[in-house]
Amino acid sequence: MNKNGRYERLHKQISELIPKGKHSISAMATISSVLYHKMEYFFWCGFYFVDNDELKVGPYQGPVACQILEKDKGVCWAGINQNKSILVPDVHAFPGHIACDSRSQSEVVIPVRNAEGIAVAVLDIDSDKKDVFDKTDVEWLEKIISLIEPIQL
């Protein structure tokens, strides 16, 4: 699998699909759809937003997910609190991991920042295969997310 080539095409496609200017929820919907349908190892792909003390699910593709993630628990909150991407090769080895679907095996979370640089949402991707995400995924997903930053929610 040539990840670099595939991500390069996806990055181009997404940048052409989302309008220029301020980005919000509609751009997130487009990103989750393109990624989910083009990357066969993505089992779930979508966004969670900070809303008061909770993370609430936003646009996503894949099996039904948790609506709300309890504060400071799990991989998505780690991405928000650390304001950095989190790569989890084996979700069962991540303390506090929240399993919305028992088939999930590995996960990657990318923060989405507002104009102040604060992480106000995350892109969350799950796979049903262990250890499938690597540095290449993180680098390209960060590049794709930077297309919609700063986000206005």
Interface residue list for ligand SME (CB under 6 A): 44, 65-66, 69, 74-76, 97-98, 100, 104, 107, 124, 126
CA atoms of 93 and 55, how far apart (whole Å): 22
Q: Residue 14 class from Cβ within 10 Å (0-12 exposed, 13-18 middle, 19+ buried)? A: buried
Give the residue with the Cβ less far from ligand SME, 50 or 75.
75
Provide, rounded to whole angstroms, the least separation between the CB of residue 91 and ligand SME: 7
Provide, rounded to whole angstroms, the least separation between the CB of residue 109 and ligand SME: 7
Give the residue with the Cβ less far from ligand SME, 89 or 150.
89
Provide, rounded to whole angstroms, the least separation between the CB of residue 107 and ligand SME: 6
Give the residue with the Cβ less far from ligand SME, 39 or 100.
100
Give the residue with the Cβ less far from ligand SME, 75 or 144.
75
CA atoms of 69 and 151, how far apart (whole Å): 21
Provide, rounded to whole angstroms, the least separation between the CB of residue 83 and ligand SME: 15
Contact 125, 34 (CB under 8 A): no
In the chain, count H helices and then E strands. 4, 6
Give the residue with the Cβ less far from ligand SME, 66 or 153.
66
Paired tokens of 1: 């699998």
- Closest residue to ligand SME, judged by C-beta, is 74
Contact 76, 96 (CB under 8 A): no
Provide, rounded to whole angstroms, the least separation between the CB of residue 6 and ligand SME: 22
